[in-house]
Amino acid sequence: MKSTFPSIILRYLLLGTIFFLPGWTPTAQGQTSVEASLTNTIVFRGESFGLQVVINNNQMVDVELPILPDLNGVRLLSNVPSRSTSFQMINGRTSSNITYTYTLMASEEGDYTIPPISITVNGQTLTTNPIPFKIVSQKASDASNALPDIFLRIELDDETPVVGQQLVASITLYFRDGTEISSYQPLQGWRADGFWREELENSTQPRAESILLQNQRYRKAVLLRFALFPTRSGPLTLAPYGMMLGVRNRSANRDPFGSIFDSFGTNQRRITVESEPITITVASLSTPTTGLMSDAVGEFRVWRTLNQTQVTRGEGIEVITTFEGTGNLPLISRLRYKYPTSFEEYSPQENTELNRVGTEISGRKTFTELLVAQESGSFEMPAEQVAIYNPKLNRWQTITLPSLSLTVSEPVLPSFPQPSAQSGIPSLVDGTLGSYNRYTIPGYLFSGGRVLYLIYLPILILILAFAIKIRQLYLLKNSGLILRNSAARRALNDIKELQKKHEILAAVQEDSTVALKEVYRKLLHILTVYYTERTEQTGSAMVTSDILKDLTERSRQKGTAGSIQKIEFLLTKLGRISYSPEVSSADLKQDLNEAVHLITFVEDLLA
């Protein structure tokens, strides 16, 4: 029925009268009160619960944030509380409530009290009453049939490991049947002091299984797995692991064995849960009775190889040791072999390939030791026995690495043909051999019908033969001089070719380590051949240590020893560059320029 105009006027008059009734006036002068409460006064360790501070008043007030005292047995998950406000009117009386809510995490068992909390309202400081509460252990509650509705545990596959043994830590969530977990997010800052930690990969969503705990139906889901490797013996403690969960009620047709995310319900909320800490005792490893003790713990295969068995003096050899299997691959260090004193050792390299999929860490770890032969001869690296601890068998296993043989020969300088009447005469311009055709003078004379010249033919032949003989004797005597004079020119031309090659590599962005090292090796060959020819050395080609020793002595005699430092650095680098893990294009460009300066310095030194 539609309201008439008089009835509307009457309604407003009655409504206005309410505000002038005697019962409404005192509300403007009501008292302000504050009170604190906990959502639960008996909580489990690792469980989150709420602390609420409520300001009751019948008018709009100026309220500051509560000042929380020091809290024992709990951690404050956020310093900034959530705030909510409500208004109500009953029998003409109005009132307002302002509620601040903090989230606490129970961390230590025991009986505790929330001390009085101070809060300033309209410039007046008010305090709440203290609140007693109790934190109990989940394990202790097993016997009292009081497990929480949702809780988190760290479950280890072995609680009595040895140092280096791989443990699998499963972060497992338990929740009552009828509860649905819509999401989970790990909290930051999990501490695992004394352990090397690797997170294991899981390609599928967690699956929940239905179990019975204390004759009650729970669901259990492994959310995350970690591979833990103890690095020292004695008692070690895993700190509590925290999770932020999205929780809602389960729908009626829920599959108890399905994914923990696969249905939708109502009343969704977010809570924080935390596992209890775990303390385990780690035993130290015993000493193996035989073999070279390694720090490998697990099931492994081990082998050792050489990248080549025949090298020349000054050339590098790689000794490659490989561990493959399941266990503490990240913690394995290289084996210490004893090498002959004639080998110079360089910084070793290591490469680890880990497979984190599944329930354990597996893969391969390779150690490459770099040696440079300083003497020629035949050498043998003796067989080694390597001891590896197998925790499944609870004993040491020994693996034999066979002996390795190596032959080191002297480097040989490429031979240069000596000048002879048959092979031709070396060119004085560039040192290469050129062939010269002999002219047949009789043919020339007879072809022209110059018979009279036959009278002088014997004399001309004798003169020509004598001149050729003198020329050959001169070249044979001074062949070293010819090579020496042209050594710098050839070396500089070869370096220019390397610079062009480097520019091409940089232009097409093929400055890989392999390509750059190939240029370095050619540069080293150019410089060693140049110095060997320039100093007229005979026999075998000089290696970088020989060149450096000879240069140092010559510089000392000439009083220029201070200028040898850059050359020493360059030669040392070139001698080791093949064994370096990485080289850069920028370094190569600079070293090519330094090589040109080296040749200029040597020419000035030997002038």
- Answer whether residue 162 is part of any domain: yes
pTM to 2 decimal places: 0.55
Residues whose CB falls within 8 Å of the CB of residue 302, separated by 6 or more in sequence, listed in order: 294, 296, 321, 322, 323, 324, 386, 388, 399, 401
Of 261-265, 333-337, 557-561, the least confident: 261-265
Decide which of 517 and 135 is more confident: 135
Judge whether 368 and 319 are in contact, CB under 8 Å: yes
Q: With 60 as the cut, is the pLDDT of residue 299 above it?
A: yes
Residue 394: inside a domain: yes
172-195 pLDDT per residue, tens? 999 988 888 888 999 888 889 999
Tokens of 462: 């004798």
Residues 471 and 484 in one domain: no
Tell whether 395 is covered by a domain: yes
Do both 560 and 500 map to the same domain?
yes
Q: Write down which residue in 445, 462, 477 finishes a domain.
A: 477
Domain shared by 152 and 249, yes or no: yes
Q: Are residues 46 and 71 in the same domain?
A: yes
Residue 131 shares a structural domain with residue 163: no
Q: Which residue has the higher pLDDT, 17 or 268?
A: 268
396 and 431 assigned to the same domain: no
- Cα angle: 321, vertex 322, 324; to 5 degrees: 160
Under the banding of pLDDT at 50, 70 and 90, the label for residue 450 is low
**CATH number for the domain that contains residue 303:** 2.60.40
Q: Are 19 and 42 in contact (CB under 8 A)?
A: no
Q: How many structural domains comprise the chain? A: 5
Range of the domain at 331: 292-409
Q: Please name the amino acid found at residue 100.
A: Y
Q: Same structural domain for residues 530 and 573? A: yes
Residue 260 has pLDDT above 60, yes or no: no
Is 174 found in the same domain as 117?
A: no
Same domain, 510 and 600: yes
Find the CATH number of the domain harbouring 108: 2.60.40.10
Look at residues 436, 461, 477 and tell me which one is the last residue of a structural domain: 477
Mean pLDDT, rounded, of the chain: 78
Structure tokens at 510: 């093929």
pLDDT at residue 453, rounded to an integer: 57
How far is residue 117's CA from residue 455's CA, in Å, rounded to a whole number? 138
Tokens for 409?
């020969």
pLDDT at 267: 67
- Answer yes or no: do 392 and 340 share one domain: yes
Pick 3 or 283 by higher pLDDT.
Answer: 283
Q: Classify residue 549: in a domain, yes or no.
A: yes
Mean pLDDT, residues 580-604 taken together: 81
Residue 538 has pLDDT above 80, yes or no: no
Q: What is the predicted pLDDT for the residue at 294?
A: 86
The percentage of the chain sitting over the pLDDT mark of 70, rounded to a whole number, equals 74
pLDDT (0 to 100) of residue 425: 42
User: Between 288 and 18, where is the model more confident?
Assistant: 288
Checking if the pLDDT of 56 tops 50, the result is: yes
Higher pLDDT, 477 or 173: 173
pLDDT band at 397 (very low <50, low <70, confident <90, very high): very high
The last residue of one of the domains, among 81, 101, 136, is 136
Of 217-221, 505-509, 517-521, 532-536, the range with the lowest mean pLDDT is 505-509
Q: Is residue 11 part of a domain?
A: no
79 with 114, same domain?
yes
The secondary structure of residue 26, as a DSSP letter, is: G
Domain annotation covers residue 307 = yes
Residue 416 lies in a domain: no
Task: Answer yes or no: do 264 and 158 share one domain.
Answer: yes
In a domain, 265, yes or no: yes
The segment with the largest mean pLDDT, out of 28-32, 354-358, 469-473, is 354-358
